[in-house]
Amino acid sequence: MYLRTPKSSPGQLPRVAVFGLGLLAAVFYVGCGRMPEEPFWEPNAEDTAGITAAVQANEALFMTSFAEATLLETDTVWPGTTRVRFESEVRENPFKQRFRTNQLQHVFFTDSFELKYRFVATLDTTEAETTCTVFFAESIPGVLNLHAYSYTRFLRDSIIGDDTLKYYDTTFTDTSMVVEKPLYATTTDGCVLKKEAGQWSLWKMQGGSRFYAPTPDDAPYVPYMYITNGVIIDTFQLRPDTLQHGIQRFYATDEILTFTVGDSLWIGGLATTVLDAKNLIYFNGERHEFRSSDKIGLTTPGLFRLYVEQIPIAVLYETGGEYVALAWGAWIRVVE
Q: What is the mean pLDDT of residues 121-132?
A: 69
> What pLDDT score was predicted for residue 11?
39
> What pLDDT score was predicted for residue 134?
85
> What pLDDT score was predicted for residue 7?
38
Does residue 314 carry a pLDDT above 70? yes
Give 251-310 pLDDT, tens digit per residue: 999 999 999 999 999 998 887 778 788 899 999 999 998 887 788 999 999 999 999 999
> What pLDDT score was predicted for residue 281?
95
C-alpha span between 308 and 327 (Å, rounded):
5
Q: Is 150 exposed, middle or buried (0-12, 13-18, 19+ CB in 10 A)?
A: middle
Query: Percent of the chain beyond pLDDT 70?
Result: 80
Does residue 109 carry a pLDDT above 60? yes
Does residue 12 carry a pLDDT above 60? no
> What pLDDT score was predicted for residue 41?
61
In 152-243, the DSSP E strands lie at 154-160, 163-168, 173-196, 199-206, 208-213, 224-228, 233-237
C-alpha span between 66 and 106 (Å, rounded):
8
> What pLDDT score was predicted for residue 159?
83
Least confident range from 9-23, 121-135, 219-233: namely 9-23
> What pLDDT score was predicted for residue 16?
29
Q: In a 3-state reduction of DSSP, which class is residue 314?
A: helix
> What pLDDT score was predicted for residue 127?
65
> What pLDDT score was predicted for residue 325?
97
> What pLDDT score was predicted for residue 25?
36
C-alpha span between 318 and 96 (Å, rounded):
7
> What pLDDT score was predicted for residue 283?
95
Does residue 13 carry a pLDDT above 70? no
> What pLDDT score was predicted for residue 87?
75
Alpha-carbon distance values, 48 to 55, 139, 230 (Å): 11, 24, 46
> What pLDDT score was predicted for residue 89?
81
> What pLDDT score was predicted for residue 290?
85
C-alpha span between 184 and 181 (Å, rounded):
10
Alpha-carbon distance values, 73 to 76, 87, 241, 286 (Å): 9, 23, 36, 12
pLDDT band at residue 120 under the 50/70/90 scheme: low
C-alpha span between 171 and 119 (Å, rounded):
57
C-alpha span between 27 and 43 (Å, rounded):
13
> What pLDDT score was predicted for residue 256?
93
Does residue 144 carry a pLDDT above 90? yes
Domain that holds residue 137: 3-335
Does residue 233 carry a pLDDT above 80? yes
Does residue 157 carry a pLDDT above 50? yes
Nearest-5° Cα angle at 135, 133 to 136: 145
> What pLDDT score was predicted for residue 84?
66
Output 45 or 114, whichever has higher pLDDT. Answer: 45
Least confident range from 35-39, 129-133, 165-169: namely 35-39
Does residue 35 carry a pLDDT above 50? no
Output 118 or 184, whichever has higher pLDDT. Answer: 184
Least confident range from 7-11, 61-65, 233-237: namely 7-11
> What pLDDT score was predicted for residue 80?
57
The count of domains in the chain is 1
